[in-house]
A and B are shown apart, each in its own frame.
Chain A
Amino acid sequence: MPGSFCVSLTCSKDNTDKATVAFVVANAAVASDKDTMVFLSIEGVRLSQKGYADDIHEADFSPLKELIDNFVKAGGKIYVCSPCFKKRALGEDKLIAGATIVGGAKLVEFLSGGSPCVSY
């Protein structure tokens, strides 16, 4: 069953519960053969930086770094909101594997193709 799926995530260490569950759901989508994209915006863009997620581990969940790594390894894509990224003066040289900085048009294009989206 082809199709795509978007998970929009606006949190990182300001709400580690939401950040974790977003990637659990993203893993469910990519494991279900969906062309899956996690769109990081607002505080969520911090997760695009190497090392940032290393100490995030919600009780009864896998560590967030492991969830992100598994997602990328399974073919999931991570898009990072460009203006949110610039506002926080983050480093392009510190992007994790699978992450790409994009503008809003990329999100609009993805969703305009009929992709469902869940937001955290």
Chain B
Amino acid sequence: MMGEKWDAGELGCGELLIELAGRMKSLVPGQVFELRALDPGAEEDLPAWCRLTGHSLVSAQHPVYLIRRREN
């Protein structure tokens, strides 16, 4: 189930994550979010963030990331 998308541009680190976390909350469980993040730190940060939060990283082809919202 594809859902929302967001172009985060050059945002990175906590500035990216706090906005991303809010957007993920608005999705229904299982919905996939498409994120475009140009920040070079995103390649390491987004997999780590998904491990921390329980969201699933479906695909990571920098700068485009597909993240499936967790069940709860």
Interface contact A31-B54, CB-CB below 8 Å: no
Q: How many residues in A have their beta carbons less than 8 Å from beta carbons of B? A: 19
Measured CA separation A27–B21 after assembly (Å)? 10
Does A26 lie at the interface of the complex (its beta carbon under 8 Å from any beta carbon of B)? yes
Q: Which of B11-19, B29-37, B57-65 contacts A (4 or more CB under 8 A)?
A: B11-19
Q: How many residues in B have their beta carbons less than 8 Å from beta carbons of A? A: 14
Does more than half of chain A's interface fall in helix, strand or loop, or is it mixed?
Answer: helix
Interface contact B13-A74, CB-CB below 8 Å: no
Does A9 lie at the interface of the complex (its beta carbon under 8 Å from any beta carbon of B)? no
Instruction: State the A residues within 8 Å of B (CB).
Output: 1, 23-34, 61-62, 67, 70-71, 74
